[in-house]
A = this chain, B = another copy of it.
Amino acid sequence: MKTTKPTILVVNDDGVTAPGIKALIHIMKELGNVVVVAPDGPQSGMGHAITIAKPLRLDRVDLYEGVEMYKCSGTPVDCVKLAVNRIFKGKKPDLCVSGINHGLNNSINVLYSGTMSAAVEGAIERIPSIGFSLDDFTLNADFSHCASYVKSIAQKVLEEGLQTGTLLNVNFPNGADIRGVKICRQANAKWAEEFDERLDPHKRSYYWLTGVFQNNDHGEDTDVWALENRFVSIVPVQFDMTAHHAIPVLNGWSF
Given contacts A49-B47, A86-B207, A198-B55, contact A183 B247 (CB under 8 A): yes
A246: contacting residue among B52, B56, B163, CB under 8 A: B163
Residues of chain B within 8 A (CB-CB) of A188 are 165, 240
A124: contacting residue among B108, B117, B194, B243, CB under 8 A: B108
Please tell me the number of chain A residues within 8 Å of chain B, measured between CB atoms.
Answer: 77
How many monomers of this protein are in the complex? 2
Residues of chain B within 8 A (CB-CB) of A124 are 108, 190
Asked if B58 contacts A207 (CB within 8 A), the reply is yes
A52: contacting residue among B77, B149, B209, CB under 8 A: B209
Encode A118-146 as 1/0 by CB contact (under 8 A) with B: 00100011000000000000000000000
Distance to closest chain B CB from A110 (angstroms): 5
A181 within 8 A of B: yes
A2-10, A26-34, A38-46, A91-99: which one contacts chain B?
A: A38-46
Asked if B244 contacts A185 (CB within 8 A), the reply is yes
A225 within 8 A of B: no
Q: CA of A81 to CA of B110 in the docked complex: distance in angstroms?
A: 17
